[in-house]
Structure 1
Amino acid sequence: MTRQKTYLVISALGEDHPGIVNQLSRAVLEHGCNIEDSRMTVLGGEFAAILLVEGKWNTLAKIENTLPELERQLGMTIISKRTGERATNRSLLPYAVDVVSMDHPGIINNLAGFFADRKINIEDMATSTYAAAHTGTPMFSVHMTVGIPADIHIAGLREEFMDYCDGLNLDAVLEPLKG
């Protein structure tokens, strides 16, 4: 009989400086827990981290109790929430979506609306802006992973998505997630 894993999601946000990842990961390790998944990045001058920490209920409690002191030491806002294992839905097909266009407001909202209207879950998303080579034009790119219900006709969805993106002047790709 396998035991149900217990998790703590930790979110930390604060002014970026060297050593943040070291201190966060040390706190997890010192309490006998493991970081199973994470996202960390610098946004503007702020460092943002989301960690999925796995451990026994009592070791997770010890981490929870140390968070106020860690928050003070790092000068960050840290929140946490207990969670369980993610329910796997075998009827969802993982697809990658990549979109590039000239930067303008509303791109994310338009893409999110397209998928929400079709009951397609956005599971992961990363966006960035950059200057186009040679011209310096402000560009925007988004990469997301979506879970497409198995009963949706993929060819029809792809055609509908490409037409939608063409109408918004977005260069887009929708393809099965590799690996």
Structure 2
Amino acid sequence: MDKVVISILGRDRPGIVGAVSRILLDRGCNIEDVTQTSLQAEFAGIFIASMPDNLAPSTLLAALKAGLAPFGVDVLVKRLERRPAHSSPSSAEPFVITTMGPDRMGLVAGVTEVMARFGVNITNMKAVFRGGTDPFRNIMIYEVDVDRQIDHAAFRTALRERAQELDLDITIQHRRIFEAINRV
């Protein structure tokens, strides 16, 4: 079975996930992973589904567009590339990086540029900016994979220096510690 990535974007309203899942089920597709959120009344959903051999991604796209037309959402279907059989398991460790501070342009760019420079992969991110100088109204949470081979001390130092430049408080914790402390 081939797998596809399906992304749905549009104005949030009840029934979108139900409609997508029904369309997939009716065509013999199995949802394997899904993430969905609503940002400022905008829906964003990403589904990974396996589909029967006799179903083409273009046919699935047409069915989704037709079935979701009443919702007025944008739909994209892309074949999921298979990983090479020779790829080795990741040597990365999961961390959670949180920042708080006054709102201003460039916060996300400033922090993520440091991550990119060290080859750190962001697996999940949530940023809430409510404006103003109250640091508790402007929070970014990054779930990241940090390769064991990088210089962790240099990475932490670079992040802390950038946070200071941006007037941000920053914490960097292994995900197990973060979850234990926050009881997630």
Q: TM-score band (shorter)? A: 0.7 to 0.9
2:90 is the counterpart of 1:114: no
2:71 aligned partner: 74
2:138 aligned partner: 140
TM-score, structure 2 as length reference: 0.79
C-alpha distance in structure 1 between counterparts of 2:44 and 2:88, whole Å: 27
C-alpha distance in structure 2 between counterparts of 1:99 and 1:139, whole Å: 11
| Paired letter, 1:40 | Q
Q: Counterparts of 1:23-102 in structure 2 under 5 Å?
A: 23-59=19-55, 61=57, 63-85=60-82, 89-102=89-102
- For 1:22-62, what per-residue CA distance to the aligned partner results, in whole angstroms no more than 9, with x for missing partners? 11111122222222222222222322211112233334645
Question: Relative to structure 2, which stretch is displaced further, 37-46 or 81-90?
Answer: 81-90
C-alpha distance in structure 2 between counterparts of 1:148 and 1:124, whole Å: 13
Is the 2:91–2:148 contact (alpha carbons within 8 Å) kept by the matching residues of 1?
yes
Is the 1:130–1:138 contact (alpha carbons within 8 Å) kept by the matching residues of 2?
no
Structure 1 moving runs of 4+ over 6 Å: 135-138
C-alpha distance in structure 2 between counterparts of 1:177 and 1:58, whole Å: 41
Deviation at 1:79, TM superposition (A): 1.0
Unaligned runs of 5+ in 2: 180-184
C-alpha distance in structure 2 between counterparts of 1:39 and 1:77, whole Å: 16
Is the 2:37–2:45 contact (alpha carbons within 8 Å) kept by the matching residues of 1?
yes
Is the 1:12–1:49 contact (alpha carbons within 8 Å) kept by the matching residues of 2?
yes
| Paired letter, 1:12 | I
Normalized per residue, the structure richer in strand is 1
- Percentage of matched positions with identical amino acids: 27
Call closer, same or farther: CA 1:85–1:175 in 2, change over 3 Å.
Answer: farther
C-alpha distance in structure 1 between counterparts of 2:100 and 2:118, whole Å: 22
SS at the partner of 2:101? strand
Is the 1:103–1:138 contact (alpha carbons within 8 Å) kept by the matching residues of 2?
no
- For 1:103-143, what per-residue CA distance to the aligned partner results, in whole angstroms no more than 9, with x for missing partners? 111101001111112222222212112479xx977822111
